[in-house]
Structure 1
Amino acid sequence: MHVGNFGKSGATMLRNGDRPYVKQAEYTKAIDFEPDIVVIKLGTNDTKPMNWDEHKVEFKDDTNYLIEQFEKLSSTQAVFMCTPCKVFSGGNYGITDEVVSGGVIPVLKEVVKERNMELIDIYTVVSGHSECFQKDGVHPDAAGAKLIAEGICRVLLGK
């Protein structure tokens, strides 16, 4: 089994967003790594007004595109999609909980249902744990990262 972390802080699912994941070096490394299991956790930075207001109609297609890039690898056995975290305060780059919960998450739910995938509900895992986030209310601290990792592991291990 290949295990790697190829995340990119600030990256977007949107290919026309301000920092598209598919245009980052981490994406190329992730593809070249030929993973067995892929866990995608993007969407928060897509909600920045400069991204969401202009490109929200592209979000579903871009989500499907990213999933397909990993599914077509001969190594990939499963792809999992995570919801973004709850946003505990608004204003950091214009990221708000209203757009995360009312915009991004419904689209992700639709995609995973259509693709018969499993959605890892990180939003619920971290809800009620604002103390596990940095002052901006968007970025988890070490305790928040642990909550997220535990939530993902529960799904991957079937617990």
Structure 2
Amino acid sequence: MKALSTTVFYTCFILLLFTSCSSRPVMIACVGDSITAGAKHKKQSETAYPKVLDKLLGDGYSVVNCGRSGATALKRSNFSYWNCNEISNVFALRPDIITIKLGTNDSKPGNWNAERFKTDYQCLIDTFLSIKPKPKIYLCLPVPVFDHHNFRIRGEVVAHEVIPIIRSLSEKNHLPLIDLYQPFIGKAALVPDGVHPAEEGAAFLAKILAQQIKE
């Protein structure tokens, strides 16, 4: 009888331990720039797309906003993501999933260099893949630029240079690609300042991400 009680105790203990370990939600880190951070929103902590994504995915997920306004994938730029605290936050989280949405600020005249962008973006991928356990990484194409005069963001560079490079890196590294460019075509009203999706635009963006992540 004592042996049976001991067996039951250890069985319950193991089940409890397993339940505790498996109850950790899927951790998602959203790497990006001001669009990720929720710039221009009245309550960005509530309406930035990572927060909306967190609500859409539900209890089994925990989404953390690791966006920083002005950030670039380029190491040598006016404001590189490599020099932001947010990149350290990503490592501290040890996320299961990372979404990378960079490239918009890289298009600025003083920043852009196609060869360095490809090299530095690849380096960012490699750096995040060094996290243990290895996260799943989604590469996101930038949102279209509707006003080429705002913020020195060059829409033609985003469309014809940034996007092809990100596509090529997705193929090279066998990483899933999330297209945030085409779904926004014809939806300039969602991006009132020409660059940053407003609250409704962020919600639209979050739905696209949620659909891809749940597949």
Alignment TM class, shorter chain as reference: over 0.9
Which residue of the partner structure matches residue 156 of structure 2?
A: 98
Q: 2:105 matched to 1:45? A: yes
1:156 aligns with 2:204: no
Question: Structure 1 residue 62 and structure 2 residue 124: aligned?
Answer: no
- Residue 67 of structure 2: SS of its match in structure 1? coil
- Equivalent positions of 1:1-150 (< 5 A) are 1-2=26-27, 3-52=63-112, 55-135=113-193, 137-150=194-207
Contact 1:39 1:80 in 2 (8 A): yes
CA–CA distance in 2 between the matches of 1:85 and 1:141? 12
Structure 2: gaps of 5 or more residues:
1-25, 28-62
AA of the residue aligned to 1:134: P
How far residue 147 of structure 1 moved from its aligned partner, in angstroms, is 1.2
Q: Is the 8 A contact 1:125 1:147 kept in 2?
A: no
Larger Rg: 2
**Distance in 2 between the 1:68 and 1:21 partners?**
15
Root-mean-square deviation (CA), in Å? 1.1
TM (normalized to structure 2)?
Answer: 0.70
Contact 2:128 2:135 in 1 (8 A): no
- In the TM superposition, residue 154 of structure 1 has moved relative to its aligned partner by 1.1
Structure 1, unaligned stretches of length 5 or more? none
- Aligned partner of residue 39 in structure 1, secondary structure: strand
Shift of 1:105: 0.1
2:98/2:138 contact within 8 Å kept: yes
Measure the CA separation in 2 of the matches of 1:77 and 1:60. Answer: 21
Q: Distance in 2 between matches of 1:27 and 1:61?
A: 18
Q: Which has a greater percent of strand?
A: 2
Identity within the alignment, %: 35
- How far is the alpha carbon of 1:30 from its aligned partner? 1.2
8 A contact 1:38–1:76 mirrored in 2:
no
- Per-residue CA deviation, residues 81-125 of structure 1 (Å, 9 max, x unaligned), is 000100111112321221111010000011110111111000012
Q: How many residues align?
A: 155
Corresponding letter in the other structure for 1:150: K
Q: Which runs of 4+ in 1 moved over 4 A?
A: none
TM-score by length of 1: 0.93
Q: Equivalent residue of 1:40, what SS?
A: strand
Partners of 1:133 and 1:140 within 8 A in 2: yes
